[in-house]
Structure 1
Amino acid sequence: MDQQAPPLAGRREWIGLAVLALPTLLLALSMTSLNLAIPYLSADLNPSGAQLLWITDIYGFLIAGTLITMGTLGDRFGRRRLLLIGAAVFGVASAIGAYSNSPEMLIVMRALLGLSGATLMPSTLSLLSNMFRDPAQRTFAFSTWMATFMGGTAVGPLVGGVFLERFWWGSVLLLGVPVMLVLLALGPVLLPENKDPDPGQIDLLSVALSLAGVLSVVYGLKQIAGDSASRLAFVYMAAGIVILVVFLRRQRRLSHPLLDLAMFRNRTFSVPIVALAVGIFMNGGINFFLMQFLQSVLGLTPLQAGLCTLPPTTIGMATSMLAPQLIQRFRPAFIMGPAFLAAAAGHVIISTVDKDSGAALLVVGLAVMGTGFGLFMAMGTSLALGAVEPEKSGAASATSETSTELGLSLGIAVLGSVGTAVYQSTFRSRVPEGTPESVVDRAEKTVGAAALEAEKLPAPLSEEFLDAVGSAFAAGLRTNSVIGAVGLTCVAVFVTVMLRHLPAQPKGSGGHGHGGGDAAPGTEATPSPAPGTEPVPSPASGAAGAPSPAPGTEVKRDS
């Protein structure tokens, strides 16, 4: 029996896509601009090495720990409602965080940003997945979503650089506030409310287990990253792993699990999820070192450092938008495999960077990385979410975001710690004679602190000191690049082998998870009903009417 072709999106869905891109832009602005401000907040708040790591990635860890819960809440209470609540809280936390006067205060605000950010992404992806059921249109929608995110990562450093040259470091946290206001104004008017009519009860014990497990592991990692690798740190990590195992076993017994493990039996869902998590993990170490290297080692201004990120993010945006065309000509395995190899090649180039090579070589490496990054992110997200039934889109979206956020945060923590350890050991071996031990102790915590300590030393010693700092930090960056190149090459082989069974999605093939329609974005040759409206009978469908909204969802339109 032939499957009915999925409905095509109409004008309202394409306008909704523009609105749903706003949370993505908001999150990208906040993340990239904060990375740019690390040297400045380090000088102002004087955080320890462990506190600096908490500031940079507690946001991602709390997102990873609560995404599944927030995805379930969206399925139950409404994805649009959760999206708007999260946007409001995110804006308020950004404004308060901008005026933090201690590392602890900033960490708390970043934690609140993580909790509210966890409401945004699963709601956005779930709404997109239900609004765009045709595979080709869905790939285009997710590619646009990804391009917007990467556009935010490009604009964030530029705007953040301008702000940092004119205002205090906290001003960069305010960048997302205007975007949040636009979303709150347009969201209720243009977005359909969408939720699962039968989501089941929320299992509070599962919520507690997932949070306790993730946060225990994170705490242990942070202690190790902060040069406090005590026995207690490993106890926390082991306890967290045990709790997560209990959490997973419980999900198998529940009729309405917080995380539906059955989704992972579908290779088209699980393979992209794993590949994206590992790929982003490998990029995490580069992300942690990048802005510090450009500013504290190469001596660039914040604006100049921001400009260095423009070519790679622009290229990443362009390649992500190629995904809808490539998927119609080639098998997904033969797109994602080379994309991961391109990212690995970028890491290889960066592994040749040193303190005297200048910014050009680093930018070239980042640009090559961006070529593969944009493509495998857009393709992987579209494949994974297109492989599940519509009624599971909230949980699937949350699982996808959990994997990427956890991958990035773990990459920053683990590879950031590895790179930092290399920096510290290399720095210790190259410290010029006559440097006070107290200066060395402070300088080895962060490269920003080292730059400040160098200003206190007499001229000849200061130059030798900075030379040692730059060489040591470049060694840490190169180490992370080599690890990333090897890891991404392994992922390329993995996806090529595991996804080789998937065919291309030629125009008009239809079918769940494959194929696609041939309508251009914005056209309504055979449109689906606007979300929230009753199906209108068409000559082609006879008495049955136009295709109904996605099964398992309750769709209504509020303004």
Structure 2
Amino acid sequence: MSLTSRRKNLRPEHHERRWAALAVLMLPVMLIAVDNTVLSFALPPISSDLEPTGTQLLWIVDIYSLVLAGLLVPMGSLGDRIGRRRLLLIGSTGFTVISIAAAFAPSAAWLIAARAAMGLFGSVLMPATLSLIRNIFVNPQERRRAIAIWASGFSGGAALGPIVGGFLLEHFTWGSVFLLAVPMLVPLLVFAPMLVPESKDPKPNRIDIPSIVLVMATMTPLVYGIKTVASDGLRVDVVACLIVAVIAGIWFVRRQLGRPDPMLDVRLFTNPAFSGAVSANLLSVFSLVGFLYFVSQHLQLISGMTPMQAGFVLIPGLAATIIAGLTVVPLVRRFKPSHVVAGGLTLNAIGFAIMTFAGPAGSDLGLILAFVILGAGIGSAETISNDLILSAVPAHKAGAASAISETAYESGAVLGTAVLGSILNAAYSANVSVPSDVPAAARSTAQETLGGATEVASHLGGPAGAQLLESARSAFDSGVALTSGIGVVLMIFAAVMALRTLRDAES
């Protein structure tokens, strides 16, 4: 056999076990998606056990996605250099070990640190999966099908999170939700070396440490500033953080424009279809994570459901996300992609509107309806926007476009909790009324979060406990109505933006 023939036989399109390889690569994708939703259901028991402040509670949720979003692009570049499969195995090993450490965290600070480390190894996992899929499936039709399955893994993981998480939280401690990484990643470590071929970029960009620092210097103070201004107002440190974020962001863009081999090709954003699709992707995830942040707490702490019951209540909405994502693609053959994406974002607005006007204080049936509509909108908008992100750039820039798409996903997860969660916490603290005879330490706990107030009320008992619980629930629901109203306005704005920026896009 000639050397040319041997090379041909080693090409990815001749990889006979490519679909088995895809099944293995779906494991980390689903795990990352599960982690984005399952933690919301663990917040009440975490609040009870670790007694975090309101800000710490937000950081427990946010730090993971914050680190993940900041490092996706540089880790994608690192995979190009050292090997994508190798990086995938490194990330899987690290994520498994740190998840075990998070499961047994003795304090809120420990859990925040563990979540940050999980974000680091998660950023190693995600770019490697999509890059490997694109390398394994060279046939365009097969590749589109594989990428569609990859994208549906996010929705599938989101649907799996509440069910598995609810079961675990009903029978075990909150730490069990982090141990999900073990059964999902150990098979990857066993089968990936056998099924997934290694791939590298023959001419990879150099690792640019200053650019990595600038990405983190942009996102970290930005999210901190958003959190703090919502709860404590526009303080001096908040203004300083926002100034640092703006300066670092501008510096990052200028550095990328001035380099012959930029870590992130920011010129891609000059394409309206590309930037519009990225924005739609980010805002879709923003709406999902922001909605889940307060709905999961409402179902458990106000409606009195167990974690597993709350998970089952959300199944219809999460199923709507998967179904919409898998069935919306044929619509772009009959309708413009801009109309499909804008329609999905409009459904998001309707879902938030139901929460605003019907209110979480109404029946849980209204909440389920709101989430079904929201889920259908998210599935539609996110699926088509991801497709547009890849099709809006030349083929040789598809890798960079994929990294940006994943960064938008995680940035939306960060901002969904940071913006809507911070506003909700601020509205709750402003409206909750704590009985005057409650000790100072307990008073502070009750004013921070609904979970804290529920815990204090259970210790108080009697009329004082009942009064505190009623006030806390009312304050929480009023905050949900406010944040849902903001969600309506934001989603309508996003729909209009999609119509304008994506009008010339072709899927």
Scaled by the length of structure 1, the TM-score of the pair is 0.83
Of 405, 410, 433 in structure 2, the residue corresponding to residue 405 of structure 1 is 410
Of 343, 349, 355 in structure 1, the residue corresponding to residue 354 of structure 2 is 349
CA spacing shift, 1:237–1:451, aligned 2, 3 Å: same
Q: Is 1:142–1:381's contact at 8 Å kept on the other side of the alignment?
A: no
Of 285, 298, 301 in structure 2, the residue corresponding to residue 280 of structure 1 is 285
- Give the corresponding residue for 2:257: 252
1:171, distance to aligned residue in structure 2 (A): 0.9
- Give the corresponding residue for 1:496: 499
1:117, distance to aligned residue in structure 2 (A): 0.7
SS of 1:175's equivalent?
Answer: helix
Gaps of 5+ in 1: 1-6, 504-513, 515-559
Scaled by the length of structure 2, the TM-score of the pair is 0.92
Aligned length: 496
Structure-to-structure mapping, 1:110-509, within 5 angstroms: 110-132=115-137, 137-224=142-229, 227=232, 230-354=235-359, 356-428=361-433, 431=434, 439-503=442-506
Q: Is 2:288–2:374's contact at 8 Å kept on the other side of the alignment?
A: no
CA spacing shift, 1:434–1:470, aligned 2, 3 Å: same
CA spacing shift, 1:473–1:38, aligned 2, 3 Å: same
CA spacing shift, 1:35–1:213, aligned 2, 3 Å: same
- Give the corresponding residue for 1:80: 85
Amino acid across the alignment from 2:340? I
1:137, distance to aligned residue in structure 2 (A): 4.5
Instruction: Give the alignment's Cα RMSD to 1 decimal.
Output: 2.3
Q: Is 1:271–1:499's contact at 8 Å kept on the other side of the alignment?
A: yes
1:439, distance to aligned residue in structure 2 (A): 4.1
Q: Decide which moves more: 456-465 or 469-478.
A: 456-465
In 1: Cα distance, 2:360 partner to 2:504 partner: 46
Of 101, 109, 120 in structure 2, the residue corresponding to residue 96 of structure 1 is 101
Amino acid across the alignment from 1:108? A
CA spacing shift, 1:10–1:342, aligned 2, 3 Å: farther
Q: Is 1:140–1:321's contact at 8 Å kept on the other side of the alignment?
A: no
In 2: Cα distance, 1:100 partner to 1:481 partner: 33
Amino acid across the alignment from 2:294? F
In 2: Cα distance, 1:186 partner to 1:237 partner: 45
Amino acid across the alignment from 1:491? A
Structure-to-structure mapping, 1:11-26, within 5 angstroms: 12-26=17-31
In 2: Cα distance, 1:339 partner to 1:210 partner: 30
In 1: Cα distance, 2:77 partner to 2:486 partner: 35
In 2: Cα distance, 1:211 partner to 1:228 partner: 24
1:122, distance to aligned residue in structure 2 (A): 1.6
CA spacing shift, 1:387–1:19, aligned 2, 3 Å: farther
Amino acid across the alignment from 1:162? F
Amino acid across the alignment from 2:100? A
SS of 2:460's equivalent?
Answer: coil
Q: Is 1:98–1:170's contact at 8 Å kept on the other side of the alignment?
A: yes
Percent identity reads 39
- Give the corresponding residue for 2:39: 34
SS of 2:333's equivalent?
Answer: coil
In 2: Cα distance, 1:319 partner to 1:125 partner: 22
Q: Is 2:288–2:378's contact at 8 Å kept on the other side of the alignment?
A: no
Q: Is 2:273–2:504's contact at 8 Å kept on the other side of the alignment?
A: no
CA spacing shift, 1:194–1:226, aligned 2, 3 Å: farther
In 2: Cα distance, 1:250 partner to 1:412 partner: 30
1:383-413 deviation per Cα after TM superposition (whole angstroms, max 9, x unaligned): 2123334443332222111122112202211
1:459, distance to aligned residue in structure 2 (A): 2.2
CA spacing shift, 1:216–1:433, aligned 2, 3 Å: closer
Q: Is 1:284–1:416's contact at 8 Å kept on the other side of the alignment?
A: no
In 1: Cα distance, 2:347 partner to 2:471 partner: 32
Q: Is 1:442–1:449's contact at 8 Å kept on the other side of the alignment?
A: yes
**Which has the higher Rg, Structure 1 or Structure 2?**
1
Amino acid across the alignment from 1:16? A
Q: Is 1:348–1:482's contact at 8 Å kept on the other side of the alignment?
A: yes
Gaps of 5+ in 2: 1-11
1:435, distance to aligned residue in structure 2 (A): 5.6
1:253-296 deviation per Cα after TM superposition (whole angstroms, max 9, x unaligned): 10011111122233332221122113333444322212111111
In 1: Cα distance, 2:416 partner to 2:358 partner: 20
1:223, distance to aligned residue in structure 2 (A): 4.0
Q: Is 1:135–1:386's contact at 8 Å kept on the other side of the alignment?
A: no
In 2: Cα distance, 1:348 partner to 1:133 partner: 44
1:353-383 deviation per Cα after TM superposition (whole angstroms, max 9, x unaligned): 4454232211110011111111211111122
CA spacing shift, 1:229–1:425, aligned 2, 3 Å: same
SS of 2:199's equivalent?
Answer: strand
- Give the corresponding residue for 2:9: none
Amino acid across the alignment from 2:195? L
1:90-148 deviation per Cα after TM superposition (whole angstroms, max 9, x unaligned): 11111111011011111111000001111122222223344456665544333322322
Amino acid across the alignment from 1:209? L
